[in-house]
Structure 1
């Protein structure tokens, strides 16, 4: 079963000198996480996303707006798409994702799991 692990964090945590240190630590954690996925034979893909300042949103009326659609304290910063046995396995992997303070991971099955 395929699950999206959507990583939400506050971009401001990565600002300044302390933020650069935090980012280096979190990125090192992601490298270990992907090594662990591969060692366990889990099929995956994923990517970090550019900052929200680079985002655009297309509205139904065809108007393109600068920035992301959602106005929240956390921003979608990246994702993993993993293929695992079940929801429990997806949750177990999500728990291993390194996050900044207050970060969250949304665990969502893909549409092919429905039906």
Structure 2
């Protein structure tokens, strides 16, 4: 089965208030349980804010380090889930469920490559 990355984009800034966030997180956990029960779950994780990122880049044989995100934007990847699905349509079906649970956040579904970097 192929693996797909479901990236969760969220706006920069503080998290929503608990009265909004708590029901979303309950619904998200229910969806994650559904994915596990279906055998599609691989792993997932949340990320610290983009301000905690460090970017490394090679320039003239020296690796330069920059604090903060690679690009400045109004949104960032706040978390992700890796699933396995027989095809893109099945992965998009899970992505649609995430989009409903996490609305108004956007979900990007992208196939993962395997063996390319081994």
Q: Which has the higher strand share?
A: 2
51 and 36 in structure 1: CA distance in 2 versus 1, 3 angstrom threshold: same
Higher helix share: 1
Q: CA deviation at 1:70?
A: 1.9
In the superposition, the TM-score normalised over structure 1's length comes to: 0.83
Query: Is the 1:22–1:100 Cα contact (8 Å) retained in structure 2?
Result: no
- State the alpha-carbon separation in 2 of the partners of residues 9 and 107 from structure 1: 15
Query: Gaps (5+ residues) in structure 1?
Result: none
Cα distance in structure 1, aligned partners of 2:40 and 2:76:
26
Separation in 1, partners of 2:27, 2:42: 16
Under a length normalisation based on structure 2, what TM-score does the superposition of the two structures give? Answer: 0.81
Give the number of the structure whose alpha-carbon radius of gyration is greater.
Answer: 2
> Aligned-residue CA RMSD in angstroms?
2.0
| Runs of 4 or more consecutive aligned structure 1 residues displaced over 4 Å after TM superposition | none
